[in-house]
Amino acid sequence: RFSNLIPTMRIRFTFLALFAAFSLIQAGAQQANLKKLQQGDVASWKQIQRPAIANSGRWVAYALQPNEGDPSLHAFDEDQNKTWDFPRADRHAFSSDSRFLVFMIKPDRDSLMAMRRRKAKKEDLPVDTLGIFDLGTRTLTKIPNVQSFQIPSKWPGLLAYHLEPGK
């Protein structure tokens, strides 16, 4: 009985050894073709943040936040299959009737950091701007020196915003 098993086990062992060797060679060849990850690659990665869908379902908005740099807001129109981009925009919300996309536009990060390095006074630093994008006419209205805003979830046509004091 054992004499019949030994040739079968040798064949299985040989087959297993060949399969393992082939797998290692194949894995090595695939790794040779892969590009190594560099520091610049990590800096260019972006994260999707705060995805939102308008109540009508026609519009989708999301913020792209890079690891380094300013965020950008993207609004996608399902009917026209078109995307509108708003640089440095963040903290967005749709109105309850899906007629407006409201968001904050931040000052340029590089210029803000340069002013802070020069030790500019806080009141001399640029502040956020409120952006109101009319989804029907595709027009953008900007209101400068805004600290924050709120849109009610049920009543259309209302927007409350708080201006920076002394500006």
What does the alpha-carbon distance between residue 85 and residue 87 come to, in Å, rounded to a whole number?
6
What does the alpha-carbon distance between residue 29 and residue 23 come to, in Å, rounded to a whole number?
10
Closest CA to 116 of 125, 108, 107: 125
Using one digit for the tens of pLDDT, what is the confidence trace for 96-140?
999 999 999 988 887 777 877 888 777 777 788 899 999 999 999
Q: CA 61 → CA 15, 67, 109, distances in Å?
A: 55, 20, 22
What does the alpha-carbon distance between residue 90 and residue 130 come to, in Å, rounded to a whole number?
10
Return the H-helix or E-strand segment holding 18: helix 2-33
Contacts of 115 (CB under 8 A, 6+ apart): 124, 125, 126
- Using a cut of 0.85, tell me whether the model's pTM lies above it: no
Using one digit for the tens of pLDDT, what is the confidence trace for 42-93?
777 788 889 899 998 899 999 998 877 788 999 999 888 999 999 999 899 9
Contacts of 145 (CB under 8 A, 6+ apart): 127, 128, 129, 163, 164, 167
Geometric angle at alpha carbon 75, from 158 and 57, rounded to 5°:
70
